Amino acid sequence: MFTSVVNINQVPTEIIAYNCWIEEVGLDINGKKDIVILITGNPGVPAFYKEFASQLQSMLPTDVPIWIIGHTGHAINPEDNVNHSYPDLKTHSHLYNLNGNLEHKVQFVRKYSPADARIHLIGHSIGAWFVLNLLKNNDIEKKVSKCYLLFPTLERLAETVNGKFLINFALRISFILVFLSWIFTLFPYFLQASLIRIFGFFYGIPSKLDDAILQLVSPLPVQSAFFLGENEMHQIKNRNDSTISQHKNKLYLYYGMMDGWVPIRYYEDLKKRFPDIDAHLCKRSFRHAFVLQDSVEMGQMIGDMINKSIDST
C-alpha cells in the first residue's frame, strides 16, 4: 500500500494506492492497463476504504493498480509532518463545492491514467454521482470499462430521511461541531486517539477506523464535509437519465434495502424507467456506510465482478 498527498486542482489530496503508485503506471507484463479507481462517499476520507480496497487487491491480478481518492479538504493526517497549505474555504469555495470536487476528479483521472487505460470506476454514495458525471467527459468515458455505483446518491437527496436531518439539524449546529473539532486538535495525539477509541466503542465503530476518524476530526475536514453535503442537498435533485441512458451498458448499481439516503423507491423508479439496467437491491443487509462492518463482503462481491470484466476483455 502507498499513501501520499499530491496537489490536485490546487488542493492537497491524500491518495491511497495498492499494487502501484499513481505516478508509476508504466508497461504492463500482460499488455494490459486495467486500473481501479475508487471515489469515496462523504466524508471523503480514503482511509475509511482501506479494508475494502485490500479485499479487492487480494482478488485482482497483482498488476492492476487500485487508487482511492476522496474529496477536497476532507482528510488531514494529524501525524503528517509536512505542513500542507490548503486554500481557504471561504475565499476558494469553488474548490470545495460539488462542481469543484468534480473537476478535482476529472484532473486526477486525466493526469494519472494512461491514454490506453481501461478504467474500472467504483463510486460509493456521492462518489457514484461523481462517477456518473465523469462519463460526460469524452476523453475519460473512452477509457472507462465499467462503473460500480454502490448505494448511489443520484437524486432527490433533500427529500430523504437523512437529507432532512442534515438540513434541519446537522447543518444548523455545524459551527458548533467545527469549534469542537478545533478544541479537539489542541489535545495531544495520544489523548485524541484515546477519545476516538472511546467514542467508537459506544457507537459501534471498529477500532480499525480510528486513524480515518482522526483524519476527519479537524476544522477544515469538518467544514468541508458539511459544505459539500449542503451543496449536495441543493444541487442533486433530478436523476440524470440522459447520461444513464447513454452509458447504461457500463453501469452496475447496488441499492440498500434500508437506506436513509437512498430509499427503495429510488431503485424502483430507476427500474421502471430502465427495466433492463444492471441494478440490484441488496439482499444481505449491508448498510449504506458499508465501510463500518461490511467492507470484506463488499470487496469480495465487487472484486469478483471486476475480475470477470477483466477476463472478458
Enumerate the domain spans of the chain: 2-157+238-311
Per-residue pLDDT in tens (0 to 9) along the chain, 313 residues = 999 999 999 999 999 999 999 998 754 444 568 999 999 999 999 999 999 999 999 999 999 999 999 999 999 876 665 678 999 999 999 999 999 999 999 999 999 999 899 999 999 999 999 999 999 999 999 999 999 999 999 999 999 999 999 999 999 999 999 999 999 999 998 899 899 989 887 778 888 999 999 999 999 999 999 999 999 999 999 999 999 999 999 999 999 999 999 999 999 999 999 999 999 999 999 999 999 999 999 999 999 999 999 877 6
pLDDT at 27: 42
**Residue of 203, 22, 200 lying closest to 113 (CA atoms):** 22
- Residue ranges with strand state E in the chain: 2-8, 11-18, 34-39, 66-69, 118-124, 144-150, 251-255, 279-281
The reported pLDDT for the residue numbered 79 is 64
Report the pLDDT value the prediction gives residue 30, as an integer from 0 to 100.
46
Enumerate the active-site residues. Answer: 125, 259, 288
Neighbour count for residue 159 (Cβ, 10 Å): 12
Sheet holding 144-150, edge to edge: 2-8, 11-18, 66-69, 34-39, 118-124, 144-150, 251-255, 279-281
The 10 Å Cβ neighbour count of residue 132 is 22
Task: State the cell numbers at 73.
Answer: 479538504
* pLDDT the model gives residue 31: 53
Helix (H), strand (E) at residue 112: helix 98-112
Could you give the CA distance from residue 181 to residue 161 in angstroms, rounded to a whole number? 26
- What is the number of residues in the chain? 313
Q: What is the structure's pLDDT at 138?
A: 95
The gap between the terminal CA atoms of the chain, to the nearest Å, is 27
Q: What is the pLDDT of residue 203?
A: 75
- CA distance readout (Å), 285 to 76, 88, 95, 208, 288: 32, 40, 36, 21, 10
Q: How far is CA 223 from CA 28, 54, 88, in A?
A: 41, 29, 11
Q: How far apart are alpha carbons 114 and 11 in whole angstroms?
A: 22
Per-residue confidence (pLDDT) for residue 204, from 0 to 100: 80
- Domain over 2-157+238-311 is classified CATH 3.40.50.1820: yes
